[in-house]
Copies of this chain bind each other. A is one copy, B any other.
Amino acid sequence: MPRLKLGVLISGRGSNLQALIASCADPSFPAEIVIVVSNKSDAKGLDHARAAGIATAVVEHGGYRNRESFDRAVHDVLVGEGAELVCLAGFMRLLSSWFVETWHDRIVNIHPSLLPSFKGIDAHAQAIAAGAKLSGCTVHIVRAEMDAGPILVQAAVPVLPGDDEDSLAARILTMEHKCYPLAVKLIAEGRVQIDGDTAIIDMPGDTDDHIISPSVR
């Protein structure tokens, strides 16, 4: 069975890219990365991709007159490499509505909170300021509205006394690295049905193996 072809967009170290690279290194994983695109030429994630023998491209946004023309250049690279699903992994550019519509239901993002709580760039700080005792991460299909769209996978972690943004971010990141490959796997296996603003996950026997599951001690 052919593997789902991924295009991964990054701007920096792309630790979630590394998690995807590791998953795709397993031949039984139903997806492969065909291209990593960065809007910054010095993104550390490019080195990781090259080290894994994955094609890379740099599309620097400074060279384009507006958001959509930049996005069209990224789109051309993705299409040229045969990408079927776009994975955002620390990509620090807002996507144009043209791009989001062109890749409708085929762009995936990860956000470090249990959406719809704590949208935006400072999710960890928001969780701590709110005194939340649980936070986590969410993999979702990208819509025009930021940090919204059908939810694919979520995982929860405790917020501990004394946590600062860094310690909470590190704890959530370990979950991100499990959730992102899981979400890609579910899509690649055809188990995700998008129904408007929600994603229905089809699992044999109605199991909950798609959930990074909380359990109680």
Task: Give Cα A208–Cα B160 distance, bound, in whole angstroms.
Answer: 7
Task: Give Cα A113–Cα B117 distance, bound, in whole angstroms.
Answer: 11
Residues of A contacting B: mostly: loop
Residue from B161, B175, B197, B216 within 8 A of A216 (CB atoms): B175
Asked whether A154 is an interface residue with its Cβ less than 8 Å from the other chain, the reply is yes
- Contact, CB under 8 Å: A217 / B215: yes
Task: Give Cα A130–Cα B115 distance, bound, in whole angstroms.
Answer: 9
Chain B contacts for A130, CB-based, 8 A? 116, 151, 197-198
A residues 197-212 in Cβ contact with B at 8 Å? 197-203, 206, 208, 210-212
Chain B contacts for A154, CB-based, 8 A? 132-134
Task: Give Cα A154–Cα B114 distance, bound, in whole angstroms.
Answer: 13
- Contact, CB under 8 Å: A206 / B134: no
- Contact, CB under 8 Å: A178 / B212: no
Q: Give the 5 A-B residue pairs with the shortest CB-CB distance, closest first.
A: A131-B198, A214-B214, A156-B214, A133-B154, A156-B156
Beyond A157-B214, A213-B216, whether A114 also contacts B116 by CB under 8 A is no
Chain B contacts for A115, CB-based, 8 A? 117, 132
Counting chain B CB atoms within 10 Å of each CB, the highest count among A131, A158, A161, A215 belongs to A131
